[in-house]
Structure 1
Amino acid sequence: MRKVGPYGVETLPSVLVDAPAAPGACRGTLTERARLHWHLSDGGDPAALAEEFLAAHGLPLHDLTRPTPRHQDAGVCGAALYLSAAAGALLAGAPTGAPEPAPTLPDLAVVVYHHGNAASTAPGPPTPWWLGAWTESWTPRQHADAVTRVRAAIGRGDLYQSNLVGHAAAPYTGDPLPALSRLGALPGARYGGVLTGDGWAIGCASPETLIEVTDGQLITRPIKGTRPATAAGRAELLASAKERAEHIMIVDLERNDLARVARTGTVTVDDLFTVRRWCDLWQAESTVRAAAADGLGLADLLRATCPGGSVTGAPKLAALAQISALEPVGRGASMGALGWVAPGRLDLGLTIRTAAADGQRLHTWAGGGITTDSDPDAEVAEAAAKTAPVRATLAGR
């Protein structure tokens, strides 16, 4: 574990505060005051570490049901919080997955910001940007074979659904931060932004809410079900019994996750299977809502909701064991949590449609949920469709 004071990123240039879900009116006036980095190899409980670190720096989140204080123009504003998929698996008591392709990235990062005069430096001349060819961590055939193995596990009764995620990496030269920042402008990116550290950076274009808390109300918005953003694609998604069944399984899982930390009888589902657009894809989204149990703190909330059910499967522990056995590399910056925490407010996106830089390579991840009705080749094509806008944006197209 490393507790680090404010600093400029050494091997990647510094940028203005652009953490996903940070208050828009504050982004140009924030200064970093403290940060925490943690890796799995450090040991301990990342959820407890995050809660304790935030409390020590003026952000007590031991009770998320307290009335929201008025936002102050001076002093602490809030903090960016990032938790990897591997850290989420650890919190769930599941295998943490294969070795990470970008081990420079921490598994937990907490960056506390105060209001103040943000340091500004005159930008130098832009460095030429070059992005090389992508190298996949598995071939389309290996991906399809993994889908077949999940279907066999479902047939044996080991689980009902499992998510499979592939990874790719590409070399680059130049400053990767403008490329990562462009992801936030993709249509439908509810959690668009960048988080940087010493030798690493994460760019996010996620449309999915992992968990949002405001005035003691818990909200998660699972996304499951994808089709091309055409009139025919929308009609096909709405009519697909397979996609609807897959979606409802995840909604039930999210209901159960929230019920662990909610007041009894308050979990409800709004907007079941609503079709929304992200880039050139239609996706099905639901909203699950609940009232937080008395005294619910950040650590218990993270333990209940991480990793997100839409990128694990059901039952969650069985799905995570299947994922660990089948995926060739770790999920890195993807399928985790990234967003903003502040007194009375928490808003974390699920890091789908996410890329990362480690000083030498860019990394992307994409996948989908597998059920007994999944077609292996169609699942491979869906993952490619999800990552295509991200890669094109990184390349500057």
Structure 2
Amino acid sequence: MRKNEPTGVETLPQALIDVPGTPDDCRGRLLERARLEWRCGDGGDPAALAQEFLTGHGVAVADLGRPARHDPDRVCGAALYLSAAAGALLAGGAPAAVTPVPALPDLVVVVYGHTDRHRPATRAAGPGTPATAARRPDPAERWWLGRWRESWTPAQHADAVEAVRAAIGRGDVYQVNLVGHAAAPYAGDPLPALARLGALPGARYGGTLSGLDWAIGCASPETLVEVDGGRLVTRPIKGTRPATAAGRRELLASVKERAEHVMIVDLERNDLARVARTGSVRVDELFAVRRWCDLWQAESTVSAAAADGLGLAELLRAVCPGGSVTGAPKLAALDRIAALEPVGRGASMGAFGWVGSGRIDLGLTIRTAAADADRLHVWAGGGITWGSDPAAEVAEAAAKAAPVRALLAAG
């Protein structure tokens, strides 16, 4: 575990950053003040560590239902990243396959303060910006991305879909989200390519975060959990079709997609109910069709009032890992995921966003890429139900990954 306390601030990179979600008068004058990096092998509870670290640096996250005032003269807030592996650990799920990006931590918390220096705010498209480079490339080295190599073949992916269908037939699970991975060698600086993902249409949580020999680029449209004024909100996404008029009609008419979607909405209602005031959970919007790049996706909005005394750690334990990227029941789905996916989920299917006093906005890291010292990594998948067609599921995962891969190749 790497932990920088205030006494070591001067050793941190002093790069100016601009993080969406921060107060408008703070844009263009934020500096990294401290960071915490943790891996599952370090032991301990990542949710408790995150809350303790943030509280120790002046970010009020011990009682999310209590009004908190942002002080522009003190700490502004923090970027927070939590991996799917850390989320599974919090939920008590089976250990997953080994991550293909061992340099990437499972928890990153970066606390930002203010500087008197100011630059014109260039609004970034996501919840974080690089603090340290993933590597130190030669500035003269041109961007190059090699051939993608999949962690499983289409036939192996289809076999995994059939294995989930068999588990559903036995009554072991109702739905399981399967995720595939691919990696490609690269040369040059990966950060500009990763940062470009935030410009993809619908990338509500587009942005980057980086450290020593690792970086994350996110183009996610999905809200894992948002807290503002004591109100909890999650926006699960389930159901995908091509972004054509026919695709929209097909998505709206699909009994299979609607059943899959409602199942996850019920799971998210139950997750929020664990940390909400009794009787306050409600579905504000059900099966709204929205666009991400060249795809239509179905999204719902579920909200609740935060229970008295709810802290960040308890909230993370309730919502991580996200129901839309695990399945139902969640623990049984995690068992299937651990048994069937050939490599770990790395930077994908976790949480990434902004934590400030009185306000939290964490996206689910779908449509997410990561870089280590010599390879780029991407992940994509989908929810499997009894009505799933293996070939269609393989094609859907490829369609989700295609815009991310194309933009990374452009460099």
TM-score, normalization by structure 1: 0.95
Partner secondary structure for residue 158 of structure 2: helix
Counterpart for residue 316 of structure 1 = 330
- State the 1:270 CA deviation: 1.2
1:23 positional shift: 4.9
SS for the counterpart of 2:289 is strand
Other-structure match for 1:278: 292
Distance in 2 (CA, whole Å) between partners of 1:322 and 1:386 is: 22
What CA deviation, in whole Å up to 9, does each residue of 1:228-271 have, x standing for no partner?
A: 00000000000000000000000000000000000000000011
Corresponding position of 2:305 = 291
Provide the C-alpha distance between the structure 1 equivalents of 2:395 and 2:298, rounded to a whole number of angstroms. Answer: 18
Q: Does 2:383 correspond to 1:384?
A: no
Shift of 1:128: 1.0
* 8 Å contact from structure 2 (residues 12, 32) kept in 1: no
- The alpha carbon displacement at 1:318 in A equals 0.2
- Aligned equivalents of 2:401, 2:23: Cα separation in 1: 28
1:123-142 correspondence to structure 2 within 5 Å: 127-142=141-156
- Counterpart Cα distance in 2 of 1:113 and 1:90: 27
Q: In structure 2, the residue corresponding to 1:332 is in which secondary structure? A: coil
Over 3 Å counting, the alpha-carbon distance change for 1:349 and 1:8 in structure 2 is same
Aligned residue for 1:194, secondary structure, equals: strand
- Number of the residue aligned with 1:153: 167
Could you tell me how far 1:16 is from its partner in structure 2? Answer: 4.8
| 1:225 to 2:223 alignment | no
CA distance in 2, matches of 1:20, 1:101: 29
In structure 2, do the counterparts of structure 1 residues 155 and 63 end up closer, same or farther at CA, with 3 Å as the change threshold?
A: same
CA spacing shift, 1:393–1:380, aligned 2, 3 Å = same
Q: Which amino acid aligns with 2:111?
A: V
Measure how far apart 1:22 and its partner are.
4.5
3-state SS of paired residue (1:76): coil
Q: How many residues align?
A: 390
Tell me the equivalent position of 2:62.
62
CA–CA separation in structure 1 for the residues paired with 2:387 and 2:15 = 45
Equivalent position of 1:53 in the other structure: 53
SS of residue paired to 1:188 = coil
- The answer on 1:35 being equivalent to 2:35 is yes
- Which residues in structure 2 correspond to 1:313-352 (within 5 Å)? 313-352=327-366
133 and 27 in structure 1: CA distance in 2 versus 1, 3 angstrom threshold: farther
How far the C-alpha of 1:73 sits from its partner, in A, is: 2.5
Q: Give the counterpart of 2:192 among 150, 161, 178.
A: 178
In structure 1, runs of 5+ residues without a counterpart are: none
Q: Which amino acid aligns with 1:99?
A: V
- 1:81-132 CA deviation, whole Å, 9 max, x = no partner? 0000000000000113000000000000000000115699xxx956410011
1:331 is paired with a residue whose SS is coil
Aligned-pair identity (%):
75
Equivalent runs, 1:195-214 vs 2, <5 Å: 195-214=209-228
Q: Does 1:256 align with 2:255?
A: no
Instruction: Give the SS at the match of 2:186.
Output: strand
Q: What does residue range 157-168 of structure 1 map to in structure 2 within 5 Å?
A: 157-168=171-182
Say whether the 8 Å CA contact 1:18–1:194 is kept in structure 2: no
Distance in 1 of aligned mates of 2:148 and 2:305: 44
Q: Closer, same or farther in 2 for the Cα pair 1:23/1:394, shift >3 Å?
A: farther
The structure-2 alpha-carbon separation of the partners of 1:310 and 1:169, relative to structure 1 and needing over 3 Å to count, comes to same
Range with greater deviation from structure 2 (15-24 or 253-262) = 15-24
Distance apart, 1:199 and its partner CA? 1.2
Contact 1:19–1:195, Cα closer than 8 Å, also in 2: no
Matched, 1:144 2:158: yes
Name stretches of at least 5 consecutive residues in structure 2 with no aligned partner: 120-137
Task: Report the equivalent of 2:282.
Answer: 268
CA contact (8 A) 1:18 1:193 kept: no
Judging changes above 3 Å, is the alpha-carbon distance between structure 1 residues 215 and 240 closer, same or farther for their aligned structure 2 residues? same
Please list the CA deviations of residues 197-253 of structure 1 after superposition, one character each: whole Å capped at 9, or x if unmatched: 111110000000000000100000000000000000000000000000000000000
| TM-score normalised to structure 2 length | 0.92
Q: Is the 8 A contact 1:333 1:356 kept in 2?
A: yes
What is the identity, as a one-letter code, of the residue corresponding to 2:96?
A: G
TM-aligned CA distance change 1:359 to 1:29, over 3 Å: same
CA contact (8 A) 1:366 1:387 kept: yes
Q: Which residue of 2 aligns with 1:187?
A: 201
> 1:113 maps to what in 2?
112
The one-letter code sitting in structure 2 at the alignment partner of 1:52 is: E
1:92 matched residue in structure 2:
91
Which residue pairs with 1:81 in the alignment? 80
**Residues in 1 aligned to 2:320 and 2:2: alpha-carbon distance in whole angstroms:** 22
8 Å Cα contact 1:77/1:342 also seen in 2? yes
Shift of 1:68: 3.2
Maintained 8 Å contact 1:30/1:117: no
CA apart distance, 1:75 = 1.6
How many angstroms apart in 2 are the aligned matches of 1:339 and 1:16?
18
CA contact (8 A) 2:100 2:346 kept: yes
Q: Could you say if the C-alpha distance between residues 335 and 245 of structure 1 is closer, same or farther in structure 2, counting changes exceeding 3 Å?
A: same
Contact 1:18 1:195 in 2 (8 A): no
Q: Which moved more, 1:60-69 or 1:381-390?
A: 60-69
SS of equivalent residue, structure 1 residue 28:
coil
Instruction: Write out per-residue CA displacement over residues 341-370 of structure 1, whole angstroms, 9 at most, x where no aligned residue.
Output: 000000000000000001110000000000
Partner of 2:251: 237
How far 1:2 sits from its partner (Å)? 1.6
1:353 — aligned with what?
A: 367
